[in-house]
Amino acid sequence: MTIRIGISGWRYEGWRGVFYPKGLAQARELEFASRAVDTIEINGSHYSLQTIGSYRAWYEATPPGFVFAVKGPRYLTHMLRFRDEKALPALANFFASGVLALQEKLGPFLWQFPPNFSFKAERLERFLAMLPRTTDEARKLAGQHDGRVKQPWFEPTRKRRLRHAIEIRHASFCTPEFPALLRKHRVALVVSDAVADWPYVEDVTADFVYLRLHGTETLYGGAYSDRALDRWADRLRAWGGGGEPDDAKRISPIKARKAGRRDVYCYFGI
């Protein structure tokens, strides 16, 4: 069991002179942040294809044992929505962009669905079936990239298993068919705590648990009290120990199968 607690991104103007020391060069902010937490979400990959140069620089800036979670491209989740023949090339481009250069520091991929994206079983199943489960599968998929990737990189690395997590923001996903599909494909359902009108669910659907804590007063704003943090710590320990909280809020009436241990990734987005 490994419980990792980190942050959603590291480039924030309001952190300079507060979290980051005054005068710290922006180019060294990841280096600083990665010594304070042991995992960080990469947000830039959600908005545009990153480059092999960026992934290599991020790898070098962080210490041994550090892990990145990588947000999947919104071009696929928010624009294409897996609906046409462009979906597979878009996924191939993502894996050809250099993300595999993170090597052993590559953690889960986060696929964030928009608030107006509703549950359609066939569409979701197509997407889940496309996701590579190992670095070898990702390399094979990356070979189908198109000209949008200017410097493709998917050279052989040590074979590793890949993890995927999905964050939902539409109530139509609150049907038992949804967590059943995730379990079938061994994809995690993100526990997303926010003041926004998003579903809050805690079904365990993979061999790891992924949490995003978005704030207590406004979306991405409002600190968690010590009491709230103690409550979250208890829940993380329950999941990490292979069980689940006694009051877990699940979509499915089926409890998660008891596991020996689980990895847990928890990110604060405030």
Q: How high is the pLDDT of residue 195?
A: 79
Cα gap 69→209, rounded to integer Å:
13
Q: How high is the pLDDT of residue 217?
A: 73
pLDDT tens digits, residue range 163-208?
999 999 999 999 999 999 999 999 999 999 987 788 999 999 999 9
CB 249 within 8 A of CB 201: yes
Residue 268 predicted with pLDDT over 80: yes
Q: How high is the pLDDT of residue 255?
A: 82
Starting from the edge strand earliest in sequence, which strands make up the sheet with 263-268, in order? 188-189, 164-167, 106-112, 67-71, 39-42, 3-8, 263-268, 208-213, 191-193
Q: Which domains does the chain have, with CATH numbers?
A: 3-268 (3.20.20.410)
How far CA 125 is from CA of 27, 121, 158, 210, 256, in Å, comes to: 40, 6, 28, 20, 21
pLDDT tens digits, residue range 103-121?
999 999 999 999 999 999 9
Long-range contacts from 83-92, C-beta under 8 angstroms, 24+ separation: 83/123, 87/126, 87/127, 87/130, 88/130, 88/144, 89/144, 89/145, 89/146, 91/130, 91/131, 91/141, 92/141, 92/142, 92/143, 92/144, 92/145, 92/146
More confident: 82 or 241: 241
Confidence of residue 270 (pLDDT cuts 50, 70, 90): low
Residue 215 predicted with pLDDT over 90: no
Q: How many CB atoms lie within 10 A of CB 4?
A: 20
The pLDDT > 90 percentage for the chain reads 86
- Alpha-carbon Rg for the chain, nearest whole angstrom, is 18
Residue 222 predicted with pLDDT over 80: no
The pLDDT > 70 percentage for the chain reads 98
Residue 90 predicted with pLDDT over 70: yes
Predicted model pTM = 0.95
pLDDT tens digits, residue range 235-252?
999 999 999 999 999 999
pLDDT tens digits, residue range 27-74?
999 999 999 999 999 999 999 999 999 999 999 999 999 999 999 999
Q: How high is the pLDDT of residue 51?
A: 97
